[in-house]
């Protein structure tokens, strides 16, 4: 947890849930865990407001609760990482749209909007939001919901059970035996619920939520495949995709190093699923190149060779590349060269930096101390022992790189950049609210006129109600909003990769 992350969480919650919930989140962020009475006292809100805010946060899996050490009072804690994940919701929906189609994307969007909800409610609600409904739509939505559960993109929410010592206090059971098994849903009951009949849903006690872990596994695999494609070519990327599929079948998905995968198994998988003749022909060479880049490690020679996927090493390399790209963008290629020299040599004196990096002495010194000032470099002081009355002992300084410290600093900068981006976006929308609303009303009127078959001259006359100066301002606002949205996506991708690096270093 950090100050910048706290400000970002506060801004995201205020944007999505309002001022009251934000006050509760700020209070929870400042402490590890708090009972209800302390939250009420420190926020100055009424008990009803605090309880409603906590209920919203728990429903959306942004906060949790557990009994304290005395087993008599609940303590509430904020899941601050989950709050930042709200910015990834559009990416989740896009992934489902790509893999499973429009109906699944509608279901996922509704579940994200509802937080924690029953399958029957999500299906019936999605049915109401669908365009072009027919008699088979309800059955299709039910089947798509089952597919999402089978592929682990949704998971059953923890179930409450009474505490052993006090039956009035409830605890959550997180260890559900089959968290991806769907209850039976009768289409006739779903149709009656959609028609508004007062019926008891058959699954009213089984709630579902989005399994963000599965999405993050997919995002991680995409990063690795893309990295291989850029490093070698698209054939190698396809080879890596099949390797990751075999890894998923044999290894815990978050292991730093996979279990051994035989080359024979990889070849059989590629032959069965791929039509890429060139990749199959040069499969051995692609594996050798990936091994030389330390993406794979040779485990054994039997069965044509066995290899492990070194996920930890891959993300170390990608993190180094990310850091060097940031240095190039901020300080130039010479600074990146100096950084690379120090990283390769481990510990380097100032005089050696300019020789190794082939940069003029004065410029090398300026860039080195600039990187030191910005915490991309660290300095270690050593003292040579003085002899007799020869005066004070002489000191010399060695520069070195601490990757974990740089990653923590970049995460702080990323949180700050995200906060600034969201704040600027909110400001632009607020200042130009009247103009944006006017433009949206005009677009709606024009669409209606086109459907009625009105003449182009009349439509142009309506469009001219937006004056040229207003059109210019609106164009600038739209461009800035688009740029800020794009920046948010890029920053979130950087945060995701840096967090993965930290996770694999634990």
Question: What are 234-280's pLDDT values in tens digits?
Answer: 999 999 999 999 999 888 989 999 999 888 888 888 888 888 888 88
Cα separation, 382 vs 347, whole angstroms:
12
Q: Is 449 exposed, middle or buried (0-12, 13-18, 19+ CB in 10 A)?
A: middle
Q: Determine the pLDDT at residue 3.
A: 87
Percent of the chain whose predicted confidence (pLDDT) is above 70: 96
Mean pLDDT throughout 16-31? 91
- Chain centre to alpha carbon of residue 232: 26
Q: Encoding tokens for residue 243?
A: 């390797």
HSE (side-chain half, CA atoms, 13 Å) at 417:
18
Pairing of strands 296-300, 34-35: unpaired
Cα separation, 506 vs 502, whole angstroms:
7
HSE (side-chain half, CA atoms, 13 Å) at 339:
27
How many CB atoms within 10 Å of residue 266?
21
Q: How confident is the model at residue 66 (pLDDT cuts 50, 70, 90)?
A: confident
- Check whether 390 has a pLDDT greater than 60: no
Q: Is 502 exposed, middle or buried (0-12, 13-18, 19+ CB in 10 A)?
A: middle
Q: Is 310 helix (H, G, I), strand (E, B) or coil?
A: strand
Q: Encoding tokens for residue 29?
A: 């962020």
Q: Is 501 exposed, middle or buried (0-12, 13-18, 19+ CB in 10 A)?
A: buried
Q: Which of 111-125, 251-265, 294-308 has the lowest mean pLDDT?
A: 294-308
Q: How confident is the model at residue 159 (pLDDT cuts 50, 70, 90)?
A: confident
Mean pLDDT throughout 441-448? 84
Tell me the pTM. 0.88
Domains and CATH numbers, the chain: 3-80 (1.10.10.10), 87-164+171-210 (1.10.10.10), 215-309 (1.10.10.10), 318-401 (1.10.10.10), 406-505 (no CATH)
Cα separation, 31 vs 281, whole angstroms:
58
Q: Determine the pLDDT at residue 105.
A: 93
Mean pLDDT, the chain, rounded, equals: 87
Cα separation, 409 vs 4, whole angstroms:
11
Q: Determine the pLDDT at residue 185.
A: 83
* 90 vs 456, residue with greater confidence: 90
- Check whether 450 has a pLDDT greater than 90: no
Cα separation, 212 vs 92, whole angstroms:
8
- Tell me which residue of 406, 408, 353, 338 sits closest to 378, measured CA to CA: 406
- Check whether 182 has a pLDDT greater than 60: yes
Alpha helix (H) residue ranges in 60-204: 80-84, 89-100, 102-114, 119-129, 137-150, 187-194
Q: Determine the pLDDT at residue 385.
A: 65
Say which residues have a Cβ less than 8 Å from residue 77's Cβ, sequence separation at least 6.
28, 32, 33, 34, 63, 64, 65, 66
């Amino acid at each position: 947890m950090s100050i910048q992350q706290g400000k970002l969480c506060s801004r995201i919650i205020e944007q999505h849930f309002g001022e009251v919930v934000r006050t509760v989140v700020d209070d929870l962020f400042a402490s590890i865990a708090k009972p209800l009475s302390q939250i009420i006292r420190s926020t100055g809100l009424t008990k009803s407001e605090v309880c409603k805010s906590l209920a919203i946060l728990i429903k959306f899996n942004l906060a949790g609760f557990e009994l304290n050490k005395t087993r008599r009072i609940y303590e509430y804690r904020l899941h601050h990482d989950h709050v930042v994940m709200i910015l990834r919701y559009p990416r989740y929906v896009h992934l489902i749209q790509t893999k499973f189609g429009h109906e699944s994307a509608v279901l996922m969007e509704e579940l994200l909007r509802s937080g924690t909800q029953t399958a029957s409610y999500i299906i019936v609600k999605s049915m109401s939001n669908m365009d072009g409904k027919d008699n088979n739509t309800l059955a299709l939505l039910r089947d798509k919901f089952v597919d999402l559960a089978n592929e682990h993109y949704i998971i059953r929410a923890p179930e409450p059970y009474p505490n052993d010592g006090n039956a009035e206090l409830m605890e959550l059971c997180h260890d559900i035996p089959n968290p991806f098994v769907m209850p039976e849903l009768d289409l006739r009951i779903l149709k009656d619920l959609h028609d508004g009949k007062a019926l008891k849903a058959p699954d009213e006690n089984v709630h579902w939520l989005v399994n963000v872990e599965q999405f993050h596994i997919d995002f991680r695999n995409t990063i690795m495949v893309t990295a291989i494609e850029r490093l070698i070519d698209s054939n190698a990327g396809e080879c890596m995709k099949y390797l990751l599929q075999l890894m998923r079948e044999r290894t815990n998905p978050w292991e730093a190093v996979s279990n051994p995968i035989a080359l024979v198994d990889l070849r059989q998988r590629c032959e069965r699923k791929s039509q890429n003749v060139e990749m199959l022909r040069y499969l051995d060479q692609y594996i050798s190149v990936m091994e030389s880049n330390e993406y794979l490690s040779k485990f054994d020679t039997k069965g044509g060779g066995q290899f492990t996927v070194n996920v930890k090493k891959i993300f170390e390399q990608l993190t180094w590349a990310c850091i060097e790209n940031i240095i190039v963008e901020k300080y130039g290629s010479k600074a990146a060269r100096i950084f690379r020299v120090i990283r390769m040599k481990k510990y380097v004196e100032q005089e050696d930096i300019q020789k190794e990096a082939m940069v003029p002495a004065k410029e090398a010194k300026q860039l080195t101390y600039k990187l030191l000032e910005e915490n991309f470099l660290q300095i270690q002081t050593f003292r040579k022992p003085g002899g007799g009355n020869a005066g004070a002992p002489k000191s010399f300084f060695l520069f070195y790189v601490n990757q974990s410290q740089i990653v923590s600093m970049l995460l702080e900068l990323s949180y700050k950049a995200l906060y600034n981006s969201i704040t600027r976006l909110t400001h632009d929308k607020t200042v130009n609210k009247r103009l944006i609303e006017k433009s949206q009303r005009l677009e709606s009127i024009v669409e209606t006129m086109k459907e009625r078959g009105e003449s182009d001259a009349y439509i142009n006359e309506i469009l001219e109600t937006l004056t040229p100066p207003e059109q210019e301002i609106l164009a600038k606002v739209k461009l800035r909003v688009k740029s800020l949205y794009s920046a948010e996506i890029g920053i979130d991708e950087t945060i995701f990769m840096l967090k993965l690096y930290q996770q694999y270093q634990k």
